[in-house]
Structure 1
């Protein structure tokens, strides 16, 4: 194996993709949540320079077209396919998965980047709290429905990957609340608490997916960093961000309290989790600054007993068993 560079806080997604260009070459990658001015878009853009196919998703096809045009303008050789996907609807997830399953190509990497807006209490079409529904339950079902597409990418030298964009902020929460995960309670709801819970669920799912697949799929979770993207610029998200001093009174990043990454820096760890061959023997790991950082995971988000329980509870919510 050739020597790869060491990455840091300031490493950009472009630098990571360039380092792993041979690993990306020929791959088909599906990335959720690829709107302009977000880390999913930047992830798609840099991967598209080297990949065989990049499938970009969103619930709004008009916005998706803008992302496709922007990527193709920057990368004329990019092979981009748009997929309408509403993660806040289990029926919507099933419809999108059926479309992907009709494609001739296997899926080498599935990247769960999309997230619901942090804001006032809302429920999905299936009656789930918006963040846990969009950030955890929808992605869980999508992975389950696409597992045969992922396994079809397997070769003697390649194991398909599933990547969950989590957050270091998971550690500020209490982990997954099994009392409300399927029965949301507006009385006890906290916008940031729901965010922490959803991000804990991402880490736990990566751990359990890696375990249950018995080496057939390598799953990873990650902290992208604190980044000023489209999701924390939404009007409904600003009060919660200000309450935690993430944004100042002016709605702009609080640079005195936090060290911020640019969008290119924020997308770097996703690309590393998707393609770094050095982590192939460490499935279920959590990354930060494009490196494994399992020591940064809170105990409530790394406990294998909790991971197994979450898997079983989520199967009940979607009404389907997720087996291999």
Structure 2
């Protein structure tokens, strides 16, 4: 990357925002998954200090209202728009996208942050496994439906961005099981494996979106680091988190692991959304707010897999993604 601010493991979202305050000013940004004590909330909170508009989403209207009120209490001048969105439901995704598309302003940045992590096997109303539906197919459809709004923000000097919050789990296993994506089977399901597949899908989607848009949209993916968010307090997630060695028997974080705070964890999302040094690096993967493509597993960076995933996901949603 070219010269400019230097970031590290300890860099916070506020520090990244300060470095790129001129890039954030005037922007309209949508962040999915913004419940309190989450990565998405911290991301939205910091962006709201400087942006023209921040759209926050959640599937629970009461919790969404609480997030809005908490941000407004700290930042009275913040322009916050709450949007009810359940990414596991095509109908909800379509309704939410229509609500945004009915607004007059363009959308500069879409941050696909929300995720269902380590959940039990369950089919959605659309017949998909919940984790892959919420983490990959829903965001894919949402991004597709909001693409006209994103393209409307483009200028000769600005290219709209889409950010996918992935995870170090993109390197786990063998990547996306395309058959399981189309034909979910409870007998073959593993919470941990499905999570890794979903996070690999995030990376592949960013790569293919950047490729197919031919310079009209720059997409990025990232790993935020190990952060004690609200996911770590969900009873159905705790056994899996204990089995992979991040939580102890007392349900507390294992101190020997390299944990980040929420402000540190959100930093890389801010960099992916606003660092102008990424303009000529579409499809890049970030870690510690810096390009880190070398950390990608082969199955998460394979162009053939990215193209296949895109085509299968278009088939699942029943429509083509056009620019």
* TM-score bracket for this pair, using the shorter chain length: over 0.9
1:4 to partner: Cα distance: 3.0
Alignment partners' CA distance in 2, 1:119 and 1:86: 15
CA contact (8 A) 1:42 1:264 kept: yes
1:182 to partner: Cα distance: 1.4
- The residue aligned with 2:124 is 124
Deviations 1:147-190 (A, max 9, x none): 00000000000000000000011111210001110111111111
- The residue aligned with 2:314 is 315
SS of corresponding position for 1:76: coil
- The residue aligned with 2:264 is 265
- The residue aligned with 2:247 is 247
> What is the alpha-carbon root mean square deviation over aligned residues?
0.9
- The residue aligned with 1:219 is 219
1:239 to partner: Cα distance: 0.4
Deviations 1:111-146 (A, max 9, x none): 000001312212222111111100000000001001
Alignment partners' CA distance in 2, 1:62 and 1:123: 25
CA contact (8 A) 2:174 2:299 kept: yes
- The residue aligned with 1:274 is 273
- The residue aligned with 2:305 is 306
Deviations 1:199-226 (A, max 9, x none): 0000000000000000000000000000
Alignment partners' CA distance in 2, 1:73 and 1:163: 27
1:194 to partner: Cα distance: 0.5
Alignment partners' CA distance in 1, 2:120 and 2:92: 23
SS of corresponding position for 1:179: helix
Alignment partners' CA distance in 2, 1:13 and 1:207: 24
- The residue aligned with 1:53 is 53
1:3 to partner: Cα distance: 5.9
Alignment partners' CA distance in 1, 2:23 and 2:124: 37
Length, aligned pairs only: 322
Alignment partners' CA distance in 1, 2:52 and 2:119: 37
> Is 2:120 the counterpart of 1:99?
no
CA contact (8 A) 1:117 1:234 kept: no
If the length of structure 2 is used for normalisation, what is the TM-score?
A: 0.98
Deviations 1:36-65 (A, max 9, x none): 000100000000000000000001110001
Alignment partners' CA distance in 2, 1:219 and 1:138: 17
Alignment partners' CA distance in 1, 2:121 and 2:97: 28
SS of corresponding position for 2:180: coil
CA contact (8 A) 1:166 1:203 kept: yes
Instruction: State the 4+ residue runs in structure 1 displaced beyond 3 angstroms.
Output: none
CA contact (8 A) 1:108 1:160 kept: yes
SS of corresponding position for 2:286: strand
- With 244-253 and 145-154 compared, the bigger mean Cα shift is at 244-253
- The residue aligned with 1:151 is 151
CA contact (8 A) 2:93 2:138 kept: yes
1:232 to partner: Cα distance: 2.0
CA contact (8 A) 2:107 2:149 kept: yes
- The residue aligned with 1:173 is 173
SS of corresponding position for 2:178: coil
CA contact (8 A) 1:111 1:162 kept: yes
SS of corresponding position for 2:110: strand
- The residue aligned with 1:4 is 4
CA contact (8 A) 2:107 2:152 kept: yes
- With 150-159 and 174-183 compared, the bigger mean Cα shift is at 174-183
Unaligned runs of 5+ residues in structure 1 are none
Alignment partners' CA distance in 2, 1:169 and 1:17: 26
> Is 2:220 the counterpart of 1:209?
no
- The residue aligned with 1:291 is 290
